[in-house]
Amino acid sequence: MLPSTFHGLIYIIIQSHAARAHSQDWDAAAVLQCSNNPAGPLSPLASHTACPLPVDDDEALKSGVWGPWSYPPVCMRPKNKSGPKLCAFTVSSLRGGGGMSIVTTPRVASNLAKAVRDPEIAWLEKQRGSRFMTDRPKPYEVKGLPGKGLGVVAVEPIKKDQVVMVALPLLLQLADTNLWDYRDVFRLLQEASTQLPRREKQALLQMAKRGRGYIVDDIMKTNSFQVTIDGVSHSGLYPEVSRINHECRPNCIVRYSPSTLVVEVVAYRDIKRGEELSLSYIPLNLLSEQRQDVIKGWGFHCACALCRDPEATKVSDGHRARIQAVFDELDAPENRTPGKVEAAMAELQDLAKKEGLAAQIGDLHTIFADICSDMGDSRRAREHAALALSLLRHFAGWDHDRTQLAAGLVARLEKEKKQESTGLESF
Ligand SMILES: C[S@@+](CC[C@H](N)C(=O)[O-])C[C@H]1O[C@@H](n2cnc3c(N)ncnc32)[C@H](O)[C@@H]1O
C-alpha cells in the first residue's frame, strides 16, 4: 500500500465539459506492440498483443479515435509545459464487468489498452495452471467493526493459500504526479470519477475517508495500494479489497497481475470462521517504529495484535533487526564464501519463518542467486533463482514485476550454463 502524503487542501470541484462520444475501435488505427502484454501461448500473434498509439485530448479530437476508452481523454499539461500530459481515461465496462478510470500518461494508457479490452485472459490462467475467477460463494462478509469502520470477516473456515477475493480496479492513478499542478491532478481525478457509470461512482464515494481535502484524493489516499502498470507505479483502488483492515502480521496477502490488472487476496494461513481478514498495508519486514511512522501517513494509529503486545514487539524487532544485520554482514567481501553465504541464507530463512515473512523468502532467493552468481557458484545461483521464481509466482503473482525479475535471472543463468558447456565441448 502506498504511504500517503496529505496535502490538506480543499479543492473546489470543477466539472469539466469534455465531449462525450461513443467508444471507438482502434483496430483500424496505427498500433504499437504492447510492452506489458507479451504474447502468451494461446495468443501468439503479434496482432493479438498490439496496442494503439498513445492518444491525448488533441490527438483524439484530430483523429476521432480514442478506443478502447469510452470517451476522449481529458488532459492537463505539466507545470513547466515540457514532458507528457496527464490524462483521465475511462472504460464503461472493463472486460465485461464494471467501469474503470485511470489518471495517467497517454503512453501508459496505450500499453494498458490490451488489458482493458481483452476478455481473454485464458493464456495467463493456462500458464499458471489456475483460474482467476471462481464460482464459489464469497467466504467472507463486509461488516462494521468496533473502532475500525467496516472490515471483512470470514463466514466459513478458509484454508491457507485459498484465493479469498478476485478483484478488478475501479480507479487507478499515476503515483508520482509532481510534474503536474496538484489542482490539475484533482481536476483529472474528478473527471475520472464523473465519467464512471453510476454504480461504480456510488461505490467510490462510499469508500472510507479521513474527511480532509479534496474527496476523491482523500479516498485514494485512504484506500489505494501500489500497483505497477507498464513498470510504472500507480495507486490502485479495488473497492472490496480496500475494506480489509491492516494488521502488521496479516492473515492474507495480495497477489497482483500487471498484465490483467487482477488482484487476488490469498489466505496466508488457515483462517477460522468469524475471524477478521487482514492485510499489511506496508512491507512485512519493517521494525515497529518504522511501521508506526508509515502507518501514520495513512492517518491512523496501528493498534493491531502485534503492536498492542510490547513483549511480542520487542522479540519481533530483535528478529527484524538481525535480518538487516545479516544483510549488512553479507556486504563485507570476507563474508562472501560459500559456507558463510549458505549459513546467512539459513539464518534468514529461520528468522523469516519466525516473523511470518514467508511471502518475502522468494525475494531472498533472488538476492542469493545474484550473490552466488557473483561468487562464480553457478550451480547454487541456479538453485536459488529457480526457488525464487516458484515462490514469487505463488506469493507475488505469475506475471508480477518481482517474478519477472526472477524469471529473467533463471533465463540468464540457464543461458550461461549452456554457453559454459558448449565452450567446454569445443575445448
Ligand atoms: C483501507 S481502509 C480499510 C477499511 C475501512 N475500515 C472501511 O471502513 O472501509 C483503511 C482505514 O481503515 C481503518 N483501519 C484499517 N486498519 C486499521 C487498524 N489496524 N486499526 C485501526 N484502524 C484501521 C483506518 O481508519 C484506515 O484509514
- Strand 100-104 relative to strand 86-91, pairing: antiparallel
Cell numbers representing residue 77 in the block: 499539461
Domain ranges within the chain, ordered by starting residue = 31-136+165-250, 310-426
Which pLDDT band, with edges at 50, 70 and 90, does 207 fall under? very high
Q: How far is the CA of 149 from the centre of ligand 1 (A)?
A: 7
Question: For residue 299, is it left (φ>0), alpha (ψ between -120 and 50) or beta?
Answer: left
Rg (C-alpha) for the chain, rounded Å, is: 23
Which of these, 241, 263, 13, 254, lies nearest to 140 by C-alpha position?
A: 241
Which pLDDT band, with edges at 50, 70 and 90, does 32 fall under? low
Q: How far is the CA of 296 from the centre of ligand 1 (A)?
A: 12
* Ligand 1 within 6 A of CB of 29: no
* Ligand 1 within 6 A of CB of 149: yes
Peptide bond into 68 cis (omega under 30): yes
- Average pLDDT across the chain, whole number: 87
Q: What is the pLDDT of residue 1?
A: 38
Angle at the Cα of 295 (from 289 to 297), degrees rounded to 5?
Answer: 115
* Ligand 1 within 6 A of CB of 142: no
Which residues face 266 on adjacent strands? 163, 253
Judge whether residue 281 has pLDDT over 90.
Answer: yes
Cα separation of 67 and 108, whole Å? 14
- Strand 171-174 relative to strand 100-104, pairing: parallel
* Ligand 1 within 6 A of CB of 73: no
Give 86-102 pLDDT, tens digit per residue: 999 999 999 888 999 99
* Ligand 1 within 6 A of CB of 291: no
Q: What is the pLDDT of residue 48?
A: 58
The pTM assigned to this predicted structure is 0.87
Give 314-327 pLDDT, tens digit per residue: 999 999 999 999 99
Which pLDDT band, with edges at 50, 70 and 90, does 17 fall under? very low
Judge whether residue 190 has pLDDT over 70.
Answer: yes
Give, for ligand 1, the residue of 153, 171, 300, 301 to mutate: max count of ligand atoms closer than 8 Å to Cβ.
Answer: 300
Integer distance in angstroms from the first to the last C-alpha of the chain?
53
Give, for ligand 1, the residue of 212, 243, 245, 254 to mutate: max count of ligand atoms closer than 8 Å to Cβ.
Answer: 245
DSSP state of 215: H
Angle at the Cα of 54 (from 49 to 56), degrees rounded to 5?
Answer: 145
In the chain, pLDDT over 70 holds for what percent of residues?
86
Cα separation of 175 and 225, whole Å? 10
Q: How far is the CA of 121 from the centre of ligand 1 (A)?
A: 32
Spatial CB neighbours of 180, under 8 Å, sequence gap ≥ 6: 76, 77, 78, 79, 86
Cα separation of 48 and 27, whole Å? 11
| 421 or 350, which is more confident | 350
Averaged pLDDT, 16-39? 47
* Ligand 1 within 6 A of CB of 304: yes
Main-chain dihedrals φ then ψ at residue 303, nearest 5 degrees? -125, 45
Judge whether residue 272 has pLDDT over 70.
Answer: yes
* Ligand 1 within 6 A of CB of 300: yes
Q: How far is the CA of 105 from the centre of ligand 1 (A)?
A: 30
Averaged pLDDT, 71-90? 96
